[in-house]
Structure 1
Amino acid sequence: MSGIAERPPALNACGSAPHRAVLSLLAIALGRPAPSGLKQDLTQSRPEEIATIANNGHVQTVLHSAFLNSADLGSALPQDLLIYFAEMQRANAARNTAAREQMSQIANILSGHGIPVLALKGAADILDPLHPTPAHRYISDLDLLVPESRAQDAARFIRAAKGLVTDSSALHVGDHHHMAQIVHPDWPLTVELHLRPGSEAVCSVLTASQIFRDSQPSPVSGVRIPSLEDRFLHHILHGMELRHQTAALNLRLLADHICYLRRISDESQKQALTRLNRRGLADWQTDLGALAEALNGIPPEPGSWATQALVNFANPDASRHQDTRFWMRRYVQRLMGPPHQRRQLLRKALSPAAWAEFIQFHRDRRRKFK
């Protein structure tokens, strides 16, 4: 594909050449024609800026497809960067294959004890790919839902099978929606055993019993995946909960949403919107949808969430400060919230390990704004 199209008008709201270039490359990788002005944006961008923006948005595994779909774009970038994106996609394909094998091993461990396993989020995407090129989807860990009543048993069986500690701290079931991470050098990905699908916002729409009830088999024996509508909802709820208030654009979330809109039926989209609307969250779907449509050449309304997200994407410093203010408000709200939230915060405040995790979490978040 090498056609030149007009740059989607919405991209003009993004006032940074390298950020605009990455958005355009993402659109091309997902099947859009090359927007006019892209070569100029590429020549006005330093190669390391392109790589950094792609890496922070977890689409470094996607952009190689842009140069396959529009080969003439490669002349605007150094060969080393093209090789980098090609290698990222190749390596991720191998990593995802290893992740499937890892899920198969986990299912084999648990099936003998009658514990069902359901893959959530990126783990489900690996088993039933959304993207036209499955290697596009980069995931950082395996989110696996098990029945809450069997969660401790599941963690114990997996840890014992891999020779890991099975003491009380490793098997503690706290207020969080998943148990302590399981890490083993033989496995490419960290495992998070979920007791519940996610945060309170996620569980207000998706319950564990309902997801299990409506789930379907996957190509990996013993591992089920949610229905496509439930996956779509989980993607929106998890992706927008910490981004909607600050109008933050996440490239991987945007790429996945474009792929969902191509695959899910209009009826399922309407049903998902109805389910979100019952909790007052319908704008999470419509706003993310408007941002996805912007890359398809349909400009969002001036002053809309999607337009503001494009503006913010081009201004990492302002976005970083806005994110910090968001988290300060969130912690204050938790202190003023229900007793179980206050207890959780107070326990963490007395834990050196929790402080280390807190510092690392916010250090990593600040680094993501590039």
Structure 2
Amino acid sequence: MKLQYHVIDTPFKDTFTISGGRSKSSQPALIVSLSLGPLTGWGEAPAISYYDVTVEKMVREIKAKKLFIEKFALTDPERYWHYLHHLLPEHPFLVCALDMACWDLYGQMNRTPVYQLMGSTWQNTPLTDYTIGLDAIDKMAAKIKAMPWPVYKIKLGAADDLAMLRALRQVTDSPFRVDVNGGWTYEKALEMLPRLAELGVELVEQPMARAKTDWDLEQMQALYNASPLPLIADESCVRLSDMKGIEKCFHGINIKLTKCSGITPARVLIREAREREMKVMMGSMNETVIGSAAIAQFLPQLDYVDMDGPLLLAAPGGTGLTIEAGKVSVSGAPGLGVRPGPLPDQPM
């Protein structure tokens, strides 16, 4: 296989802010490709500062390991993922991008869309939400008015969360999904959840920070037992080892391909969640069409999805994937079925 990579930095339509005051005006990412003969598979790894993931670090790893990444004889994407997992153990985002590209290439080699390779048919696909980042309440309301949508994801974790949600409820009847990014204490979560239920909230992602002590874990379990709404683990469930006992704290998990390191491990996480009779959501890290197409392959297997990156960014970054009124459509072409837009030259 031949490996190439491109560094991109796509502006957001609006500054994107989550709890903790974490804001960004653009989304840097690494686009990778794996080619074999006339076929090329594509993958994407966004750079996320609070996970200490930068394009510079990923490029350094590619330069150091390029020959090893290329030399693998592709017969099975899962075998390639295990190879990459051991080759790049400290770089799950980069492994994810290469895993995406591998599945895309393998699907093209077999003239089959990836979702069919995973045994799915394109039916019963959930609607994607549209995210409203933290901002002044009037600006958040204006964004909802400007983007009528069947379901919204509302970022919370500010001092005026309840007033904010009540104001937003005045401008739309669409269901809300609330994402706190671990921004509440146990006491605030216990107070807020019943009120959110009254305001048409469908679910709550990561109300409290990931447990670090036994006491944190006990509080999560107590909140789970008291909650009138489904609680979905995000930061608390990144990889397979996090699944132990997760069903005692959450009703479902939100899988991020980048954080779990790709399509291959995400399939395992879904199986583990289903065995625990948990709901499965898949989320995004503001990927362009390339990374979003990998998420889309899982849609027939999901209960909820948050894959609005191409809508939040100033440019979708490719073709072959469309999102209209929450409905996600794929091209049906082999592999991921997408192609990137114009890309900058590969860095030296």
More helix by share: 1
TM-score by length of 1: 0.25
Which protein has the larger Cα radius of gyration, Structure 1 or Structure 2? 1
TM-score by length of 2: 0.26
Q: Relative CO higher for 1 or 2, CA cutoff 8 Å, sep ≥ 6? A: 2
